[in-house]
Structure 1
Amino acid sequence: MRALILSGGKGTRLRPLTHTGAKQLVPVANKPILWYGIERIVAAGVTDIGIIISPETGEEVRSKTGNGDRFGARITYILQEQPLGLAHAVKTAQPFLGDEPFIMYLGDNLIENQLQGFLTTFQSEHLDALILLRPVPNPTAFGVAKLDEQGRVLELVEKPQHPPSNLALVGIYLFTPMIHRAIAQIQPSARGELEITDAIQQLIRLGHPVKACQLEGWWLDTGKKDDLLEANRLILDSDLTTNIQGEIDGQSQVIGRVQIGVGSKLVNCTVRGPVKIGENCYLENCFIGPYSSIADGVTLQEVDLEHSVILDRASIAGIHQRLVDSVIGQRARLTAAPRRPKASRFLIGDDCQIELS
């Protein structure tokens, strides 16, 4: 068994953050989204992993993620020159995948469930494809499945105007090598892409066993700011434990589950968890509220912040109003001038400088 993680694409829904970096490397609870998928796959016992990368962001993905040693895996990087669909990514990776079954995992997805149970079902029932589904309120934005009463997959439709159900395809699939034959028999869709839904539909037409399982836990496609913030909230809620390694002065107060990394210093601050603060940060005269993640090397002075994600080496100073529901990019600088409004919300890209007036 091998794994294929898709970490290409242009990340248009998370711009301006993804003008300067890969969306799969945007951190949730100070860890790149991509790494959660790698960890889930390795926990299921699959350690031979191919990662699809794009020309624009592939080198960043490669340099930050490495050869797999940190995960107990072996990673091979596979260049997809153009984002021509999920099935095209599988076609591009066919030399790596060979004749082995594989897990396909979209690198910007986060799920609560472990993968081992789905892998066991796939193998024990001798399936050629297993798809994961989750009810959603807006099925027109997803690939959608129609099932019979026994849970067998009857039809898959990509972003339908009239959905046959509210069951969206989660970005995780299990396939045997039969999927390569199916991909070879389909044509690009109206948007010019080889759709994985069309390839799975071809398997169904040819009579191959295809099954759907529904996720019981949460699932997030982190392609938008609000989804990113919700993923940060869920991870902090479920995984964070108290671990304070930095320096806290006598005027500071830490309440609840909080992590503070080595080399970080808090001066006259209140931190109310769950909050994660990285290494070598400096915080002075700040209130850091729940569900905030602050990456390494960040400087915050005179800041009231909650439910936000601050990326590496950002600097925020003199903001005398609460910042909420915000994502601040790497190395961004946010300062304030007199006569500020009462509340602000931001999605700020890397290397920005902003002054509020």
Structure 2
Amino acid sequence: MNIIIPMAGRGTRLRPHTLTIPKPLMPIAGKPIVQRLVEDIAKVCDTSINKIGFIIGRDFGKDVENDLRKIAESVGGEGHIYYQDEKLGTAHAILCAKELLEGNVIVAFADTLFRADFKMDPTKDGIIWVQQVDDPSAFGVIKVNNANVITDFVEKPEHFVSDLAIIGIYYFKDGAFLNKEMQYLIDHDIKDKGEFQLTNALENMKKKGAEFVPGQVSEWLDCGNKDATVYTNKRYLEYLKEDQLISKNVHKKNSVIIPPVFIAENVTLENSVVGPHVSIGENTVVKNSVIQNSIIQTNTEINNANFKNSILGNFVSFEGKSDDLSIGDYNTVQ
């Protein structure tokens, strides 16, 4: 199985945190979003991973590229880096890794996470992960027949046609077939809403006999902005086993930890209450503080603070009270 992960966007809605790292490398319960995504896909597909192609911007840097290769290795795959120099739509993004479009392929856009209680059936022509939503107008959606086979793909419908939204994860039995149909869009300049859309390629594949079925997830978790990312961190902490989330090398003095939490190596807690739903990166110091439902990254110092529903970056110094913080790297707030 090959996996292709388009992730060239910088995540402007999650600034200031994405000014220093791409959004897919933001931590969720101690691991980057993209690593959580790869691990969850590996569990669902229940087969060996051969190659993982990460489609990124050229400005992401060699450190990011090395981190992505390590993520691929962590699930037994071989990491490959591809660049998307122009943002011309989903089909164009996937084609940046066209050499991986052969045999069984999963395409997963790295701005969403999911929980699913099914194992993928690799004998299907294609599986499109979906979730029921209240307002489908902002998404691509599918329609299904009585046999639960997909009959239509509609990109951001202006009028109601279905509430089954495509979450951005797809399986294809024949990657070469997908490659051919996406390339057809490029060669003939076929765009929808100004971009080369994957859904148009899927529609052409369906017309040529491919049978797609939905894979409905139990929960779809967005990481598009600060509040959504904090909520996703909360949900992952609730899923994961508590004994795997607190490092043995935590220096705790007169402090209370309320699970579920993630606490990394060499964290110091003094005269503080931490949790529930808090993730703390390595080498961070928390003193005389109460923290709930928040993400705190590495090498940060917090003193005399009381906050929740917040994200603090790396190398931050903070003191104060708030219900809603979003502080980027290397900032001091008192």
- TM > 0.5: yes
Deviations 1:3-43 (A, max 9, x none): 11222212112111111111111111111111122223444
Deviation at 1:352, TM superposition (A): 2.0
Instruction: Determine the structure 2 residue equivalent to 1:182.
Output: 181
- State the TM-score, normalized to the length of structure 2: 0.90
Instruction: Determine the structure 2 residue equivalent to 1:263.
Output: 249
Deviations 1:223-273 (A, max 9, x none): 222221222112111212236xxxxxxxxxxxxxxx432432112211111
Query: For structure 1, which runs of at least 5 residues remain unmatched after alignment?
Result: 244-258
Instruction: Determine the structure 1 residue equivalent to 2:331.
Output: 352
Asked which structure has the greater RCO (Cα within 8 Å, sep 6+), the reply is: 2
Whole-angstrom distance in 1 between the partners of 2:77 and 2:95? 23
AA at the equivalent of 2:197? E
Whole-angstrom distance in 1 between the partners of 2:143 and 2:61? 36
**Which residue, out of 60, 66, 73, partners 2:77?**
73
Aligned residues: 325
Deviations 1:296-324 (A, max 9, x none): 111112211101111111222222xx311
1:4 equivalent to 2:4? Answer: yes
The aligned runs of 1:1-357 (5 Å cut-off) are 1-43=1-43, 44-48=46-50, 49-57=52-60, 59-67=62-70, 68-97=72-101, 99-113=102-116, 117-118=119-120, 120=121, 122-123=122-123, 125=124, 127=125, 129-175=126-172, 176=174, 177-186=176-185, 187=189, 189=191, 191-215=193-217, 217-242=218-243, 259-319=245-305, 322-336=306-320, 343-355=322-334
Whole-angstrom distance in 2 between the partners of 1:179 and 1:69? 26
AA at the equivalent of 1:268? N
Q: Is the 8 A contact 1:332 1:350 kept in 2?
A: yes
- State the TM-score, normalized to the length of structure 1: 0.84
Whole-angstrom distance in 1 between the partners of 2:198 and 2:117? 23
Whole-angstrom distance in 2 between the partners of 1:260 and 1:134? 32
Whole-angstrom distance in 2 between the partners of 1:36 and 1:64? 13
AA at the equivalent of 1:169? I
Question: Could you tell me the percent identity over the aligned residues?
Answer: 29
Q: Is the 8 A contact 2:69 2:78 kept in 1?
A: no
Deviations 1:323-356 (A, max 9, x none): 11111111122124xxx6xx4311222222222x
Whole-angstrom distance in 2 between the partners of 1:191 and 1:326? 35
Deviations 1:126-165 (A, max 9, x none): x1x3211110122122111122222222222222222311
Query: For structure 2, which runs of at least 5 residues remain unmatched after alignment?
Result: none
CA RMSD between the two structures: 2.1
**Greater Rg, structure 1 or structure 2?**
1
Q: 1:83 to 1:315 in 2, by over 3 A?
A: farther
